[in-house]
Amino acid sequence: MFVRAKPRGEKVFYYLVKNERAGSRVRQKTLAYLGESPTVAKAVESLRNTISHARKAADEWHAKAEAAKAKLTPGAFSTAVALARAPVIDDVPTFLYRGCSFSQDYAKQYHSHLREARFYEQWGRRLEAQLDNLQRFDSAT
């Protein structure tokens, strides 16, 4: 195993690579992407910082969603949940065109903030999987 540097424009990106024999040829297999970190240890540190950022962002978006949820009128929350399931026309769920009697702005905010929170949660999970992969290779070297 070794680290391969690939210059792209003014930046250099690093990959953890190993050689494998395929018949009479030797092929390089990329094991992990290290980003702009020249060592596995620095890549692990960078990933930990990014995971921390993703968790904070998810928590902030959840708090914003809860604030918007608190401003919804009673009974409107269940209708707001339907935002995720309703067909969409021009980025507006169709049931909003049907004259629902709740605060549409807060329902839209709630749904939008919840979607952002879920995005950061998923991003954090993908980064954690990448971190586990890197740590496995780090302990093997």
For the stretch 83-133, pLDDT in tens is: 555 555 445 444 444 444 445 677 778 888 888 999 999 999 998 988 888
Pairwise CA distance, residues 55 & 38, whole Å:
25
E strand or H helix that includes residue 122: helix 104-140
Instruction: Note the pLDDT tens digit of each residue in 42-81.
Output: 888 888 999 999 999 999 999 998 888 777 665 565 665 6
Q: What is the pLDDT of residue 111?
A: 81
Cα radius of gyration (the chain): 23
- The predicted model gives 10-28 an average pLDDT of 89
Is 90 exceeded by the pLDDT of residue 135?
A: no
DSSP structure class, residue 39: S
Dihedral pair phi/psi, residue 24, rounded to 5° = -95, 0
Q: What is the pLDDT of residue 75?
A: 59
Domain locations along the chain: 39-140
Question: Which tokens hold the place of 136?
Answer: 């496995």
Q: What is the pLDDT of residue 132?
A: 86
